A and B are shown apart, each in its own frame.
Chain A
Amino acid sequence: MKLAYYPGCSLKGTSFEYEVSLLKILEALNIEIKEIPDWNCCGASAAHSINHDLSIALPARNLAIAEKEGYESVLAPCAACSNRLKTAHYELETDDILKKKITGSIEMPYSAGMEINNMLEFLIKIAGKDKIKSMVKRPLTGLKVAAYYGCLLVRPPKIMQFDDPENPVSMDELVGLTGAESVNYSYKTECCGAINSLSKPDVVMALTGNVLYDIKKHGADIVVVACPLCHSNLDVRQREIERKYEEKIGLPVLFITELLGLSFGIDPKDLAIEGHMVTADRVLEKIKEL
Chain B
Amino acid sequence: MKTVINEENRRNFVSLVESMLHDKLSKCYQCGKCSAGCPVNFEMDYTPNQIIKMTELGMEDAVLNSKTIWLCVSCNTCSTRCPKGFEVTGIMDVLREIAEKKDIISKVEKEVQVFHEVFLDNVKSNGRIFELELVGKYKLKTRRLFRDMFLAPKMFEKGKLRISGEKISGLNQIAKIFKDFE
Are B182 and A51 neighbours in the complex by a CB distance under 8 Å? Answer: yes
- Counting chain A CB atoms within 10 Å of each CB, the highest count among B76, B89, B158 belongs to B76
Give which listed residue, A200, A274, A277, contacts B112 with CB less than 8 A.
A200
Are B73 and A191 neighbours in the complex by a CB distance under 8 Å? Answer: yes
Number of A-B contacts defined by CB within 8 Å: 166
Name the interface size band of chain B: 35 or more
Chain B 147-179 residues near chain A, CB threshold 8 A: 147-148, 151, 154-155, 158-162, 168-170, 173-174, 176-178
Chain A 34-62 residues near chain B, CB threshold 8 A: 38-41, 43-54, 57-58, 61
Are A193 and B174 neighbours in the complex by a CB distance under 8 Å? Answer: no
- Counting chain B CB atoms within 10 Å of each CB, the highest count among A14, A46, A61, A189 belongs to A46
Give which listed residue, A9, A165, A198, contacts B135 with CB less than 8 A.
A198
Give which listed residue, B20, B116, B127, B151, contacts A41 with CB less than 8 A.
B127
Chain B positions within 8 Å of A40 at CB level: 123, 127-128, 168, 170, 174
Are A199 and B120 neighbours in the complex by a CB distance under 8 Å? Answer: no
A-B contacts, 22 listed (Cβ < 8 Å):
A12-B128, A13-B161, A38-B170, A40-B127, A41-B129, A45-B74, A48-B93, A49-B93, A50-B116, A51-B120, A51-B181, A54-B120, A54-B181, A61-B170, A105-B177, A151-B75, A156-B76, A199-B114, A199-B115, A201-B148, A236-B160, A277-B155
Query: Which B residues contact A (CB, under 8 angstroms)?
Result: 20, 39-40, 42-43, 71, 73-77, 79-80, 89, 93-94, 96-97, 100, 109, 111-117, 119-120, 123, 127-131, 135, 138, 142, 147-148, 151, 154-155, 158-162, 168-170, 173-174, 176-178, 180-182
